[in-house]
Structure 1
Amino acid sequence: MPLIEPTLQFAFEARVDIAEPLWVGRASEEEVMFTPITGGTVSGPRLTGVVLPYGGDWSTTRGKGKETELDARYLLRADDGGTIDIHNRGWYRAGPDVEKRLRAGEDVSEAEYYYRTFPVFRTDAPAHAWLNSTVFVGMARAEAIDQVRIRFFALD
């Protein structure tokens, strides 16, 4: 029996507004930061709504390679009023030259750095129950100094 190849289908994107990161602390070879989530929008063929101004991203940067583990928790509100909890984990890494360009506000192609997530959604809204039992991959990028754009793809 032949094996199938996985495919991804674009579901929606979130433009997540963020505030200035807060320093949490430092342990041996790691730095912990908290980035508050202040709002945003959700749009796409499978979901539209807003990002609620609750939650944030606890990021941990480790080692000399400066890989950052992302651990964001926040809420979405669909246009029909349904509330959706998202736990969005992932990884970010970029070279020093790309970091410098991003901090200067330059529009840098997402092909030049790795910013990927694997979200899990929870909701009791019947119209959005499909989110609870679907595997997603997120492709993130900095849109501005105070916004992250994440495109969510459902794994078929």
Structure 2
Amino acid sequence: MSAPLPPSLHFAFEARVACAPALRIGRGEREEVWFTPITGGTVEGPRLRGTVLPHGGDWSVTRANGTELDARYLLQADDGAVVDIRNRGFWVSTPEVEARVDAGDPVDESEFYYRTSAQFQTDAPQHEWLTRTVVVGVARPEPGFVCIRFHELA
């Protein structure tokens, strides 16, 4: 029996997702629910190029130990195909780092944990690979944007 094949990651594309200000929905005294509208953006990379459509948003639940994210929105490839993405993940940082991010200060990615796992739907044959591939994201905040580098897990 041979040794298991170790997993590897291959860069697929980066999405620069434009966001409107978050809306606090509220709930409970130990957590807060927020909705962040997605207003557009770009998709650039070797496996997918196009735009982020201004439809959808990110529902997040913030607790003392971090934030759980659940975003759903649409991408439109340069060839016209529409791709539905559901991107779930976690943001974990210290209150000090969070304050620096909120102020728009540059923060090194080693100072926070911002990771996602994406699932896609499309009937476009040229993008079918998205519907049958495990895709993980490494995200970073920028003023007005969330930038996510998506990688295929091989």
Structure 1 unpaired stretches of 5+ = none
Aligned-residue CA RMSD (Å):
0.8
Partner of 2:68: 69
**Counterpart amino acid of residue 129 in structure 2:** W
Q: Distance in 2 between matches of 1:55 and 1:116?
A: 19
Q: Distance in 2 between matches of 1:21 and 1:100?
A: 15
Which deviates more from structure 2 when the two are superposed, residues 107-116 or residues 10-19? 107-116
Q: Distance in 1 between matches of 2:33 and 2:98?
A: 18
Matches within 5 A, 1:113-152: 113-144=112-143, 146-152=144-150
Query: Offset at 1:28?
Result: 4.3
Structure 2 unpaired stretches of 5+ = none
Q: Distance in 2 between matches of 1:143 and 1:25?
A: 24
Partner of 2:37: 36
Partner of 1:53: 54
TM-score scaled by length of structure 2: 0.97
Q: Secondary structure of the residue that 1:68 maps to in structure 2?
A: strand
Query: Offset at 1:4?
Result: 1.3
1:26 and 2:27 equivalent? yes
Q: Distance in 2 between matches of 1:100 and 1:24?
A: 20
Q: Secondary structure of the residue that 1:27 maps to in structure 2?
A: coil
Aligned-pair identity in percent equals: 59
Residue deviations 1:106-137, cap 9 Å, x none? 12111110010000011001110000000011
Partner of 1:104: 103
User: How many corresponding residue pairs?
Assistant: 153
Q: Secondary structure of the residue that 1:105 maps to in structure 2?
A: coil
